[in-house]
Chains A and B, each alone.
Chain A
Amino acid sequence: MSQSETPASIRIPIAGLLAWLVPGLGHLYIGDRGRGLVFMITISATFWAGITVGGAGSTIDPQHRKLWFTAQLLTGAQSLVAVAIHQKAIASYPPSEQTPIIGHWLSIDVGTHYTGVAGLLNLLVILDAIFCADPATRNRLAAANSKGSAAT
């Protein structure tokens, strides 16, 4: 059974899951290659730029920045890699230091904003992938575009 013949009830959750796992992968799965690559490059670059600026030791902080961490988790596998780097960074500190601040606080803030915004942008991408995985919706969008009412 080819990908286009997959029922919408299977296609939609798979597209959503793939879009969460790797930004843009949901769009690649439904055949929207250009859009998928733009999402993948932009969101991954934003996320890793944030990690580079703030440092994984402090930018990813599941204990003290719970809401930001929730947003960061929306970038999927990349956030899990960053959590692993964070754990490694924390483990390199003595156990007596409960809240090690590794790096400059301003860099940490900038890094946290970058990674959090990358996650929130991926939420938009996940919703778009779920929306576009439904063939009826795609046909409706194509029809609206051919009438010259493309959304910009």
Chain B
Amino acid sequence: MDRVNTQSLTKSTGATLPGIDPDRQIDVVSRLRERLPAEAVLYRPEDTRPYECDGLSAYRELPLAVVLPANEEEVAFVLRTCHEMMVPVIARGAGTGLSGGALPAPDSVLLSLAKMNRILAVDPVARIARVQPGVRNAAISDAAKPYGLYYAPDPSSQIACTIGGNVAENSGGVHCLKYGLTVHNVLRVRGYTMAGDLIEFGSEALDSPGYDLLACVIGSEGMLAVVTEVTVKLIPLPETAKVILASFDDVRKASDAVAAIIAEGIIPAGLEMMDQPATRAVEDFVHAGYDLDAAAILLCESDGTPEEVEDEIVRMEAVLRREGATNLRVSRDESERIRFWAGRKAAFPAVGRISPDYYCMDGTIPRKRLGEVLLFIAEMERKYGLRCPNVFHAGDGNLHPLILFDANDPDQLHRTEAFAAEVLQKCIEVGGTITGEHGVGVEKLNQMCLQFSSEELERFHGVKRAFDPQGLLNPLKNIPTLHRCAEFGRMHVHNGQLPHPELPRF
């Protein structure tokens, strides 16, 4: 067994990394190396540096060690060891998360599931795939494709993000109005508690006895259990799909058109909106063929049998015309459909090209309040002197305003944070939520104090205690302590109503 070279460990950490206690690090690494190969336990800063942050790179922290278990036995060993030594553990997939869910805690062990990346089984008759947590989202659909099946949730990071991370964040995508989120498409999660005990949530049947712990674990931001295997539902690939690209000269009209489509009894496979600043950024980048004169564009997708799609496209076109669309284009073939979508899917990188940095928000609102919220965002642009293009999962009310700023200018960073906080508070006020799909992580802890009362937060902490009494698994994420909320010192906005709603507020 490879032992830790104590001398080099001390040398490499002690002097340069005041945050890490070298003795503690030696103890933890030595214990972990009793059962894990040396190359699966990293501790030198040059090796652990890539794990210091996830997609939310404004927050960074080096862990004591990074472990890369290759199988369930090793995961169980790591958890039991850390549980015994009271070391916090942070599970990590591809690190594409946008809210700091995989940010290491101080003096923690970062548990990467990247090596557990095998597709264990695809059963085309039962329409399920059994996969390890490190399997990429898109790889599941690739493996199912020969059978005419696919895995529906398609977060925009799907070529990189893993199913384990999708489970942790309850990831969505552009098709979830019709096909649901991760929670609707995962049948079973197998994993370990922080104490190192094996547990299964859900099953390959459609339900399980007892409480719905599966629903509780999905979206729990890696705080309740470490996922080691997932059974996902596969669904038949639609025979065909078409998308309508509709232009509007007014954002409100576009938003009314969305409501009108749904009121017509249509559930489109995808229903996305982009405002003019967003389409202009994208068009320069990918040349999707968007109408640059439009104040907003809608992408309305229909999928199914050729007859079904034909029927639905005709009905949607009629609604869009009636609602004042200034221009309508229906994709003529698959390559044009992909091109129409390419712009939407490239929205974040496109915006990244026109600004040194951008800050992506993720509030969800009741759709009927969209006009009001967009006006509010425009007002905030003026107030803080920052631009903010909008892309929007219009079908399910999930907004992604992107505040453009330069992180090298501390004042801009500060204004960005204040801008985002006001928008999130607005989302709560109109009866929505601070996060639709990106998670709370470390990023939106303060806003949780606005969305929930202290009793509600206390029940969330109770859920955490029920799974992890010592509070060692991904600590201090997702749910703020009551102490933090008191320091934050802002009012809890209850279900869209501020205390004393009769008073004007500015």
A in complex with B: no
Residues of B within 8 A of A (CB): none
